[in-house]
Structure 1
Amino acid sequence: MRASYGPKEVVPVIAVGTAAPEFSQTSTNGKPLALSGLRGKYVLIDFWASWCGPCRKVNPDLVKLYEQFKGNSFEILGVSLDSDDAKWKEAIQKDGLTWQHTSDLKGWKNDVAALYGIKAVPQNFLVDPSGKVIAKNLRIAQLEEELRKLLKQ
């Protein structure tokens, strides 16, 4: 006899070549920040959390890369799966993450993480100036190579 587990959870798949789903979430200053507000730039949507060891380990390299490529053409938008406001903001400051950040402080129930099908962190999506996903889950070396090509550096 087979056990019945109910309907399967549907996890969205954001494929390369498709439009990045629009979202707006609260930033560290308490105001809403929308992905569409960064249209016209290459944007790395970086899903992370203060309690995530692998996320924190890669942050120094991500900071170096951001310093190298930031400006009119490249931006990072951090989406945190934290549930503690103080720990989230402390990690941003401690790690020197000078880019923009959002979170709804719902932990794994983060609305943007659900929209993007995030089941583990760190994960990322690279979005082009028109809002289309052009790569996902890039490691630092891959991201650097991609940005050099895109930004002609």
Structure 2
Amino acid sequence: MKQILTFLLIFTLGGTPDEGFEIGDTAPDIVLPNLNGEPVKLSSLRGQMVFLDFWASWCKPCRKENPEIVETYLKYKDQEFENGMGFTVYGVSLDKKKEAWKKAIEKDSLIWDSHVSDLKGWRNEAAVAYGISSVPMSYLLDGDGVIVAINPRGDKLEKELKKNRKSDSWLKSLFDK
């Protein structure tokens, strides 16, 4: 029964997660409440590399991946990038229960500031706008809010961050010739 419901959700929401968005597109802004009910804009993080992460407390693959995201965050949060300073995460939860969402953040030590959700589950406004049909799903945005990678998970996320570091730009220019 659970598999049928999952299929129906995916079918109803339609499309693939990255439908309509390509590398080089500016990511649409998101404004959702944080745990305190205060609105947090994705665009408020401009000037930093941003990992836009769609996840949920009930999503086992999401939770399994969280320690890697924390490790990457700690490693790159103070790095200088080609068009921004620092790396952060804007976590969009598809939870319906605030307490479960809050406990997952605490248990997984998700130490960045931008945790948001409207607690509408799959009907989350940002998830609908981005065409999210499964989690985890993510986008890596540069300091201008431009999508530089779609669903970079694990090593791919770190590879993309390294590629965009300012300290590597002189070295990259040698190989581009």
Q: Normalization by structure 1: what TM-score?
A: 0.90
> Residues 9 and 85 (structure 1 numbering): CA distance in 2 closer, same or farther, change over 3 Å?
closer
Question: In the superposition, relative to structure 1, how do residues 32 and 70 fare at CA in structure 2: closer, same or farther (>3 Å)?
Answer: same
Q: How far is 1:150 from its partner?
A: 1.2
Larger helix percent: 2
Whether 1:26 aligns to 2:25 is no
2:86 counterpart of 1:73: yes
- State the match for 1:137 in structure 2: 151
The number of equivalent residue pairs is: 146
Distance 2:57 2:23 in 1: 27
Is the 1:14–1:117 contact (alpha carbons within 8 Å) kept by the matching residues of 2?
A: no
Residue 92 of structure 1 pairs with residue 99 of structure 2: no
Residue 90 of structure 1 aligns with an amino acid whose one-letter code is: K
| 1:9 positional shift | 6.5
How far apart are the structure 1 equivalents of 2:163 and 2:110? 24
| Residue 47 in structure 1 maps to residue 54 in structure 2 | yes
Q: Which runs of 5+ in 1 are unaligned?
A: 1-7
> 5+ residue gaps in structure 2?
1-11, 79-84, 169-177
Tell me which residue corresponds to 2:64. 57
Within the alignment, does 1:112 sit opposite 2:126 as a pair?
yes
Tell me the equivalent position of 1:15: 22
The offset of 1:29, in angstroms, is 2.1
- Helix, strand or coil: the match of 2:102? helix
Per-residue displacement from partner, 1:1-36 (whole Å, max 9, x unpaired)? xxxxxxx96655221111100110001221000011
Q: Percent identity?
A: 46
Moved over 3 A (4+): 8-12
Give, as a single letter, the amino acid of the residue that structure 2 aligns with 1:126. L
SS in 1 for 2:29: coil
